[in-house]
């Protein structure tokens, strides 16, 4: 009988500990995230332009690496060029300090999570790949 | 030929003068906070898009739900998967009108309070929405800010009984947008 109680206690502690660990787990760092797709910024824009619903299924929540030319630098990130002057890939940076060495017209490779398309296709938590 | 060139000049000025009244941003900041004695949750999104026409008063604001960043991974997962169902409904959109903005002199620096009312779509539920917005015109740019609360239940978001004490029934939202003239 006593053995049961001890086992129950152990289980409760392990369960509680696991729950607490999961609850407090920080987000996986972008560096450590597995890349799902590698493509050019202009191709990503093209896919969203052609069929937004299909592109959402393919890219939403996915970690993508896009390469392209910096069109514009914003408060929170950069916008990469595409073949369409009105649309680009807006990369919102996880750490704004990463922006300080970037200039317009630079060729860059960015890793981030695709969250969808507003005026631009948006990548959140972006980092620069060296 | 001359008629044509006059026509084009007229069209150009028409577009130009209409364009001068339009302002936009792609980097509006939206934060929200859910405060209960059990838990404090907040999240930020820095990629809100806003287009505001100070001639007609039309304003449109959109944000990607998946762009909200939380402190804890699990919170972000629950927010997207259980509450907002952001894979099915990726965008939150507000479309409305700003009252009396055509009377604001945008060439002069100054602060204004403007009422906006329209329709807010969240989680595929559209509801009438109205709120006051603070505008500050400074050197041709307009910074705007507004605060409001959203009743989670109004937008068909169901919170399970188990975590009912952890999530506020009314979530406080702050929006800050620095608008620039649309060229």
Section B155-180 average pLDDT: 93
Q: Which residue has the higher pLDDT, B80 or A130?
A: B80
Preferred mutation among B24, B26, B49 to probe A, highest tally of A CBs within 10 A? B26
Q: B140 and B182 in contact (C-beta within 8 Å)?
A: no
User: Who contacts B45 (Cβ-Cβ below 8 Å, separation ≥6)?
Assistant: B29, B30, B31, B63, B64, B67, B68, B69
| Region of B172 on the Ramachandran plot (φ > 0 left; ψ -120 to 50 alpha; else beta) | beta
Task: Provide the pLDDT for residue A19.
Answer: 86
What's the whole-number mean pLDDT along residues A51-61? 96
Average pLDDT, integer, range B29-37: 95
A118 to B26: CB separation less than 8 angstroms, yes or no: yes
A60 vs B67: CB contact, 8 Å cut-off? no
Q: How far is B67 from chain A (nearest CA, A)?
A: 6
Nearest alpha-carbon partner for A71 in A59, A83, A61, A60: A83
Report whether pLDDT(B17) > 60.
no
CB contact under 8 A, B67 and A74: no
Give yes or no for residue B24 having a pLDDT over 60.
Answer: yes
Cβ within 8 Å, pair A122-B67? yes
In order of start, what are the domains of chain B with their CATH numbers? Answer: 22-181 (2.40.128.110)
Which band of pLDDT confidence, cut at 50, 70 and 90, is reported for residue A35? very high
In the prediction, which pLDDT does A94 show?
86
pLDDT of the residue at B1: 46
pLDDT band at B20 (very low <50, low <70, confident <90, very high): low
Of A83, A93, A80, nearest in space to A121 by CA: A80
Q: Which of B31, B47, B73, B121 to mutate to test the interface with A (most CBs of A within 10 A)?
A: B47
Domains of chain A: 30-128 (2.40.50.140)
The ipTM (two decimal places) reads: 0.84
């Amino acid at each position: 009988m006593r053995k049961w109680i001890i086992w129950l206690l152990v289980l409760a502690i392990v369960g509680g500990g696991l729950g607490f660990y999961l609850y407090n787990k920080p987000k996986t760092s972008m560096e450590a995230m597995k890349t799902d797709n590698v493509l050019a910024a202009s191709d990503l824009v093209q896919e969203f332009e052609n069929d937004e619903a299909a592109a959402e299924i393919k890219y939403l929540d996915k970690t993508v690496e896009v390469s392209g030319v910096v069109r514009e630098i914003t408060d929170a990130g950069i916008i990469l060029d595409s073949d369409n002057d009105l649309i680009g890939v807006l990369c919102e940076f996880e750490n704004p300090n990463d922006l300080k060495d970037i200039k317009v017209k630079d060729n860059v490779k960015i890793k981030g999570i695709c969250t969808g398309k507003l005026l631009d296709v948006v990548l959140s938590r972006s980092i620069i790949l060296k | 030929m001359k008629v044509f060139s006059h026509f084009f000049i007229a069209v150009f000025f028409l577009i130009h003068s209409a364009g001068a009244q339009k302002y936009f941003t792609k980097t509006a900041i939206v934060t929200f906070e859910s405060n209960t004695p059990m838990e404090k949750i907040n999240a930020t999104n820095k990629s809100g898009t806003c287009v505001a026409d100070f001639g007609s008063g039309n304003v449109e604001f959109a944000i990607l739900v998946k762009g909200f960043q939380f402190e804890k991974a699990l919170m972000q997962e629950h927010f997207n998967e259980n509450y907002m169902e952001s894979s099915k409904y990726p965008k939150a959109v507000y479309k409305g009108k700003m009252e009396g903005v055509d009377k604001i002199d945008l060439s002069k620096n100054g602060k204004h309070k403007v009422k906006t009312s329209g329709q807010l779509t969240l989680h595929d539920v559209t509801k009438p929405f109205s709120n006051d917005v603070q505008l500050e015109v400074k050197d041709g740019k307009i910074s705007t800010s507004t605060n409001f609360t959203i009743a989670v239940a109004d937008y068909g978001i169901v919170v399970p009984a188990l975590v009912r004490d952890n999530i506020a029934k009314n979530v406080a939202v702050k929006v800050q947008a620095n608008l620039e003239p649309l060229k």
